[in-house]
Amino acid sequence: MLKRKQVLERTGLSNTVMYELIAQDRFPKPVKPTGGRASAWVEDEVDAFITSCISARDSKQATA
């Protein structure tokens, strides 16, 4: 599980952009592992998002 700060550091996204992508269903939604107010992200889901960004970039370069 990753905290928000870790997710932002790992992805390079700003807080605003991350939540905009979540609202558009383009970024993994956080979970509340303790049932409280704290949110966390599943590390594998964040890694999959990063991998999909790399794949999208590479497929665009291949067609250019």
| pLDDT band at residue 33 using 50, 70 and 90 as cut-offs | confident
Lowest mean pLDDT among 19-23, 33-37, 38-42, 47-51: 33-37
- For residue 57, the model assigns a pLDDT of 92
Count of structural domains within the chain? 1
Mean pLDDT over 24-50 rounds to 94
- For residue 37, the model assigns a pLDDT of 86
Listed in sequence order, the residues at least 6 apart from 44 whose beta carbon sits closer than 8 Å to its beta carbon are none
Neighbours of 39 (CB within 10 A): 15
Domain that holds residue 36: 4-63
Q: Give the three-class secondary structure for 40.
A: strand
- For residue 64, the model assigns a pLDDT of 57
Q: What is the mean pLDDT of the chain?
A: 94
